Amino acid sequence: MSRITLDTVRKEFGSGGDKILAVEDVDLEIRDGEFLVLVGPSGCGKTTTLRCVAGLEDVTSGRITFGDRDVTGLRARERDVAMVFQNYALYPHMDVRRNLGFGLKLSTKLPAAEIDQQVEDVAEMLGIEELLGQKPKELSGGQQQRVALGRAIIRDPEAFLMDEPLSNLDAKLRSQMRTELQTLQHELDVTTVYVTHDQTEAMAMGDRIAVMNGGTLQQVGTAEEVYRDPVNEFVADFIGSPSINVFDATVDGARLDGPGEFSYHLSETDPVEGLRTVRVGIRPEDIQLVDNGIKLGVNVLEPMGNENFLYATLGEQEVTARIDPTNRPHPGESVSFAFDEAALYLFDPETGASLKTKRDGEVPTTPDSIPNREGVESTTGTGPDTGSNDDRMEETVE
């Protein structure tokens, strides 16, 4: 169990002309015992970053340390990490007992009886005692998942590295395992790096979330932080389901003119000072249907039971809104909406950097709930315009 530090880690594949930059100078500190989720779209470099931490890939430049131990040049087997693979990678020719005990057999000098005891203990912990004699192919996806977890746990490693471990499970099992994994990680208190492309999973599981895009780290923060206070439009768009509505608007003093009838008077004009256009973002849940407001043409209504998803058009712009389940506008109808300025996001049209983020219903941050809060400065990643972000951070802390 230890702190994991990535210091300007860079990973390039290939050489010469067809070099691919997979990870670009990532700085990241994963605290002792923390559950950190690396999230991003496919090809964003999250898995490569994890594999660099595991030692399955060499870094092109930069340093990786576990605690005070520099592991950059060490092979995976010398790093004392355990990994759970997306397709589990259980040894097909070994039964569950041997799969679980294999790591101990190779990496420790424990007597066979002791290994067997530990295998039994882990199997009991995961509720797979009755599967010990079976081969992986005789197990269901969920059972294989547990064996893969057990294989990681039994090693009592410095860190757990998990590469989309739940993505091969069906939706119901996935949410069940999600909770179980969190509980387990809490009990074991092992530093964990978890890779997923699923932002819901990231939000639900991570102590902190590291959002990556195009090989660069965009932002690191708690679920609340990356949702309410994203550093740029990419993070705002990636985090949250359904996605935030973002469109262009022209700035005329305090007035924003967007697609269709969208027109809004800002009471606070500082964020758009000196800009001619701005990107406006409104979360689907911040759209309130009102009698008099900005007109929307209804396309589709998806009833979810507890709420309805409204898909509509604002001029040429697609807009999604989460509305009350009792409210059922029909396709083709026209509705009006309004929103709180506090809930509004504004992004720089050139850089995508956040100019203004969500300020409504501020939840006071409780420092105790997050381990080692002293590292607040690391919550903003390499995203552009970190200066203005820090300013807002001070506002938040007040």
CB nearer to other proteins: give 98 or 322: 98
Question: Minimum distance between the CB of residue 146 and other proteins, rounded to whole angstroms?
Answer: 16
Q: Which is nearer to other proteins, 107 or 351 (CB)?
A: 107
**CA distances for 232 relative to 191, 228, 362, 397, angstroms:** 28, 11, 19, 20
Give every CB contact of residue 275 below 8 A, 6+ residues apart in sequence: 251, 348, 349, 355
> Which one, of 291, 328, 294, lies nearest residue 309 by Cα?
328
Residue 139: both structure tokens together: 């197990």
Span from 89-97, 192-200, 238-246, 294-302 in contact with other proteins (CB under 8 A) = 89-97
Provide CB contacts within 8 A for 16, sequence distance 6+. none
**Contact pick of 135, 322, 373, 392 for other proteins (by CB under 8 A):** 135
- Closer residue to other proteins, CB minimum distance, 165 or 281: 165
Out of 91, 187, 252, 367, which residue is the one contacting other proteins (CB under 8 A)? 91
| Residue of 1, 21, 89, 188 that binds other proteins (CB under 8 A) | 89
- Closest distance to other proteins from the beta carbon of 188 (Å): 17
In the region spanning residues 140 to 159, those forming contacts with other proteins, defined by CB under 8 A, are 151, 155
- Contact between 87 and other proteins (CB under 8 A)? yes
Per-residue interface string for the shown chain with other proteins, residues 244-283, x marking contact by CB under 8 A = ----------------------------------------
Q: How far is the CB of 99 from other proteins (least distance, A)?
A: 9
> Tokens for 78?
């010398």
Query: Side by side, which strands form the sheet with 354-356?
Result: 263-265, 255-257, 245-252, 277-282, 345-347, 354-356
Q: CB neighbours (10 Å) of residue 336?
A: 14
Cβ(233)–Cβ(245) under 8 Å?
no
Nearest to other proteins of 92, 305 (CB atom)? 92
Q: For other proteins, which is the closer residue by CB, 185 or 354? A: 185
Residue 55 vs 230, nearer CB to other proteins: 55
User: Would you tell me how many other CB atoms lie within 10 Å of the CB of residue 133?
Assistant: 9
Based on the shown chain and the rule CB under 8 A, indicate whether residue 107 belongs to the binding site for other proteins. Answer: yes
Question: Taking CB under 8 A as the criterion, which residues in 174-193 touch other proteins?
Answer: none
Query: Which of these ranges, 103-111, 210-218, 243-251, 252-260, lies near other proteins under the rule CB under 8 A?
Result: 103-111
Q: Which two tokens stand for residue 73?
A: 């040049």
Q: Does 102 bind other proteins (CB under 8 A)?
A: yes
Which CB sits closer to other proteins, 97 or 151? Answer: 151
Q: Which of 53/301 has CB closer to other proteins?
A: 53
Region binding other proteins by CB under 8 A among candidate stretches 90-98, 187-195, 289-297, 388-396? 90-98
**Alpha-carbon span 195 to 198, nearest angstrom:** 9
3-state SS track over 181-224: HHHHHHHHCCEEEEEECCHHHHHHHCCEEEEEECCEEEEEECHH
92 lines the binding site for other proteins (CB under 8 A): yes
Residue in 21, 25, 29, 56 binding other proteins, rule: CB under 8 A: 56
Amino acid, res. 390: D
State in Å, rounded, how far the first CA of the chain is from the last one.
Answer: 34
The single residue among 6, 26, 52, 81 that binds other proteins, judged by CB under 8 A, is 81
SS3 163: strand
Residue owning tokens 């507890």: 306
Number of residues forming the site for other proteins (CB under 8 A): 24
Q: Which range, of 40-48, 49-57, 209-217, 338-346, touches other proteins by CB under 8 A? A: 49-57
- Contact, 293 vs 338, CB < 8 A? yes
Q: Is residue 174 classed as helix, strand or coil in its secondary structure?
A: helix
236, two tokens: 């705002």
Rounded CA separation 150/49 (Å): 23
106 contacts other proteins (rule: CB under 8 A):
yes
Closer by beta carbon to other proteins, 90 or else 244: 90
Among 1, 76, 173, 376, binds other proteins (CB under 8 A): 76
Q: 3-state class of 388 per DSSP?
A: helix
**Interacting residues toward other proteins by CB under 8 A:** 54-56, 75-77, 81-83, 85, 87, 89-94, 102-103, 106-107, 135, 151, 155
